[in-house]
Amino acid sequence: MKKWEYTAKDGRSILVRTAQRGDAPKLHEGFHRVVDEGTWLPTFSANSHISDWVHWIDKTNRNRDILLIAFLDGEYAGHLTLQSEEWNASQHVAKLGIIVIKECRNIHVGRSLMLAVEEIGLERDFTKIVLSTFDDNEVAKALYLDLGYRIVGIRKKHFNMPNGFIDEVLMEKEIC
């Protein structure tokens, strides 16, 4: 199991590590908490089960995909997924997804997950990471830009959210 240690803006300890089977309930609950906010994910119901998370964790142990979990002073704070592109010619590219629970945002939990995944991504032969975010998620966009990601496109009115249409911002970074 790989581990990374970071310090939050407020001095608390952030531990990032690869997810293990026993983390499935934490990942499940964290995903549900962020979906229930109805703001940051393009889904309106979290219909996954803990067994789905166990399956995903097991899958990352058999392939190149990565599932990291972050703890703030020992408590679940968020997680990050990095998944291989499905095309043979783009196996060097990975798609990133990230969740940070509300009370752990803006204190470097997301940054810590992003830094750790770039290191392990290189070990798994990824040389490019792609991601997307809502155009109105200024905090996330600022983090990604600060970490060297660049905007490569915008999908206008891509998501029809409860508060109206939102553009999707496409970003990428070469990590080699």
Task: State the CATH number of the domain containing residue 43.
Answer: 3.40.630.30
Whether the per-residue pLDDT at 43 is higher than 90: the answer is no
Q: Is residue 87 part of a domain?
A: yes
Q: Is residue 66 part of a domain?
A: yes
Per-residue pLDDT band for 72 (boundaries 50, 70, 90) equals: very high
Q: How far apart are CA 74 and CA 63, in angstroms?
A: 28
Q: How many domains does the chain have?
A: 1
Range of the domain at 128: 3-132
Whether the per-residue pLDDT at 12 is higher than 90: the answer is yes
- Laid out side by side, the sheet with 13-18 consists of 3-7, 13-18, 66-72, 75-84, 93-100, 128-134, 164-174, 150-161
Q: How far apart are CA 13 and CA 98, in angstroms?
A: 19
Q: How far apart are CA 64 and CA 91, in angstroms?
A: 10
- pTM exceeds 0.85: yes
Token output for 69: 């979990």
